[in-house]
Chain A
């Protein structure tokens, strides 16, 4: 992380908590990652790991109350997003950073024709007449592969895949530097998933957009991402280049994730799920949050909160056992 100047997005020590009557929910804890222009990071984790909260945190859309960004900084194009005012933030949203939501069925307004919904975001962030915005919106529709004749139709007249295309058109209409996609394909069936992913990949290259891809599908990560952050209970437990992570997963949780994918070649009778459930975020376990489910937990894991350690070039892990082993490895390498 030494090329800070070239980073588009630099999230440091971000913590987001929800203050509820039942207790404080530690949704995101000391999360750090960075993103270069044009790069795609995949954020992978179980339901409730804090992926969506992280995304909303970057957009500063965490519902408050009860949610609050308690600490950390989000540097975007050299500016801390947590310091700027709400009207300034509105100029960033949809313009510099835009977001694709999970369910295209509900993320479009049912009473506005799709073309107007695309034109709206253009009007919000660009000067110019409504006519220009409509023209630009038509171009966007074409880019995502929807015939112009259907521009004046309403969302309920479109299928799920086409709606997600419209959502993508809205998200990319202002040519944002960063696109946050929150499980953009989870609500679609597999063939449409592939189409939509392909489209996103093409447009990402065309617009040179950085992307945060939130997903729980490691297949999508392998397909579209440059690097991956594995999240568990609000923590990034492993952050690495895609190839490094797939070849050499370090954290027991990451290994567990890979093991729970069925392998057709091995002809297994049963899957190997990670035992246990995600801990209650109002009452996280002491030490490493993963230790109750970890097969290789040591007594020290119960007490010490592991820190992010670089085990090899660009490969960070938050695990006591892994870092000890690799520290030795590094020494050996250094010696040799």
Chain B
């Protein structure tokens, strides 16, 4: 085994090697081309959102997504308007660029609400169990019993239409999933010996939960979050589509889809196709990232075994053997 006993006296020149967990996960993540594609698409969308103020800057106080041009309504895609213009003569591409930021913001805020409350509730319920667990989980069950979109509609209707109520509504709907995921994870980890060991080292309950149990539970939560972000964006788009989402001039993709749908039968396909395509793209990308993360974070694959890599090595080894045998036959012939 270890010859460290002798090495302990050897002078140390090397600094402790920092082998980060992140790098390890990345190594496994990048094996999946689809996951990389997802990451690429999301990067493009983030870039689009960041560059929206430059693509379509505001003119005379009028925001870039609402520059109306009544002389050029419902134009098909051309070199001037690559995605065409809508029924008020606004450039669809500009609106989509501005909408990217809204969609991303919705996704991030919803996930933050869901994760914060979900982790808190789930970890307390899972760790203490018994009475607390029962009370918390029955509340969560009540939320789960109502379909997510219905719950969101009810909350938005109770508040008022707008971006913030939509985010709150969808965020509340997202809490139960995280609470359940975290609770299940905490239940498996709280019985582990390292928790007992932490307790034996004098750690408090809070410390045990935050430092010892939760980091172990994060893998499924991260996966759930990237998938859940897609769901949240879709839900927000859906709410906007039925008119409960954002206020009209704001270029939310769902709202754009809704506005464009009356023109669809009249042949103006670009008003619905582009926002729809964007929604599909971002959801596809987030799901692919979620899939990739799930595989990368799976502890069972921790050994870092890649079938493709293994096959490649096998082929290389076979080639080497062949070359060597050829080389030996050559030398033999040479000797002969």
* A interface residue numbers (CB < 8 A to B): 59, 61, 90-95, 98-99, 101-103, 106-112, 115, 120-121, 124-125, 138, 142, 145-154, 156, 159, 161-162, 167, 170, 191-192, 195
- For the complex formed, measure the closest distance between the CB of B302 and the CB atoms of chain A, giving whole angstroms: 7
Would you call A121 and B201 a contact (CB within 8 A)? yes
Q: A151 to chain B: which residues have CB within 8 Å?
A: 16
- Pair count A-B, CB < 8 A: 110
Q: How far is the CA of A142 from the CA of B4 in the complex (A)?
A: 9
Interface size on B, residues (CB 8 A): 34
> B186-223 interface mask toward A, CB cutoff 8 Å, 1 = contact, 0 = none?
00000011101111111110010001100110000000
Would you call B202 and A125 a contact (CB within 8 A)? yes
Q: A109 to chain B: which residues have CB within 8 Å?
A: 194, 198, 212, 215-216
Say yes or no: is B2 at the interface (Cβ < 8 Å to chain A): yes
With A90-B204, A101-B193, A145-B5 known as contacts, the answer to whether A156 contacts B17 (CB < 8 A) is no
Q: A150 to chain B: which residues have CB within 8 Å?
A: 16-17
Which of B16, B199, B202, B215 sits near A115, CB closer than 8 Å? B16
Which of A59, A106, A148, A156 sits near B200, CB closer than 8 Å? A59
With A147-B7, A162-B2, A192-B1 known as contacts, the answer to whether A111 contacts B200 (CB < 8 A) is no
Most central of B2, B192, B215 by chain A CB within 10 Å: B2
- For the complex formed, measure the closest distance between the CB of B259 and the CB atoms of chain A, giving whole angstroms: 48
Would you call B200 and A61 a contact (CB within 8 A)? yes
Which of A61, A161, A191 sits near B196, CB closer than 8 Å? A61
* B interface residue numbers (CB < 8 A to A): 1-2, 4-5, 7-8, 10, 12, 14-19, 21, 192-194, 196-204, 207, 211-212, 215-216, 299, 302
Would you call A170 and B201 a contact (CB within 8 A)? yes
- For the complex formed, measure the closest distance between the CB of B299 and the CB atoms of chain A, giving whole angstroms: 8
- For the complex formed, measure the closest distance between the CB of B207 and the CB atoms of chain A, giving whole angstroms: 8
Q: How far is the CA of A115 from the CA of B302 in the complex (A)?
A: 21
Q: How far is the CA of A45 from the CA of B10 in the complex (A)?
A: 42
Would you call B2 and A108 a contact (CB within 8 A)? no
Give the residue name and chain of the B residue nearest to A96 (CB): B202
- For the complex formed, measure the closest distance between the CB of A148 and the CB atoms of chain B, giving whole angstroms: 5
Would you call B216 and A120 a contact (CB within 8 A)? no
Which of A93, A110, A192 sits near B201, CB closer than 8 Å? A93
Q: How far is the CA of A98 from the CA of B200 in the complex (A)?
A: 6
With A93-B201, A109-B212 known as contacts, the answer to whether A148 contacts B193 (CB < 8 A) is no
Q: How far is the CA of A164 from the CA of B2 in the complex (A)?
A: 12
Q: How far is the CA of A61 from the CA of B195 in the complex (A)?
A: 12
Would you call B2 and A161 a contact (CB within 8 A)? yes
- For the complex formed, measure the closest distance between the CB of B289 and the CB atoms of chain A, giving whole angstroms: 21
With A61-B196, A106-B192, A108-B194 known as contacts, the answer to whether A148 contacts B16 (CB < 8 A) is yes
Would you call B21 and A154 a contact (CB within 8 A)? yes
Q: How far is the CA of A317 from the CA of B157 in the complex (A)?
A: 78
A-B contact pairs, 12 of them (CB 8 A): A93-B201, A98-B201, A108-B197, A109-B198, A111-B215, A124-B202, A146-B2, A147-B4, A148-B16, A151-B16, A153-B17, A191-B1
- For the complex formed, measure the closest distance between the CB of B250 and the CB atoms of chain A, giving whole angstroms: 41
Q: B8 to chain A: which residues have CB within 8 Å?
A: 142, 145-147
Would you call B193 and A103 a contact (CB within 8 A)? yes
Question: Which 3 pairs from chain A and chain B are nearest by CB?
Answer: A94-B201, A94-B202, A93-B202
Q: How far is the CA of A216 from the CA of B315 in the complex (A)?
A: 52
Q: B15 to chain A: which residues have CB within 8 Å?
A: 149
- For the complex formed, measure the closest distance between the CB of A166 and the CB atoms of chain B, giving whole angstroms: 11
With A101-B197, A142-B8, A161-B1 known as contacts, the answer to whether A124 contacts B216 (CB < 8 A) is no
Would you call A95 and B202 a contact (CB within 8 A)? yes
Would you call B21 and A121 a contact (CB within 8 A)? no
Q: How far is the CA of A148 from the CA of B2 in the complex (A)?
A: 13
Would you call B19 and A149 a contact (CB within 8 A)? no
Q: How far is the CA of A147 from the CA of B207 in the complex (A)?
A: 29
Q: B194 to chain A: which residues have CB within 8 Å?
A: 106-110
Which of B17, B18, B201 sits near A124, CB closer than 8 Å? B201
Would you call A145 and B2 a contact (CB within 8 A)? yes
Q: B10 to chain A: which residues have CB within 8 Å?
A: 147
- For the complex formed, measure the closest distance between the CB of A63 and the CB atoms of chain B, giving whole angstroms: 9
With A92-B202, A106-B193 known as contacts, the answer to whether A159 contacts B1 (CB < 8 A) is yes
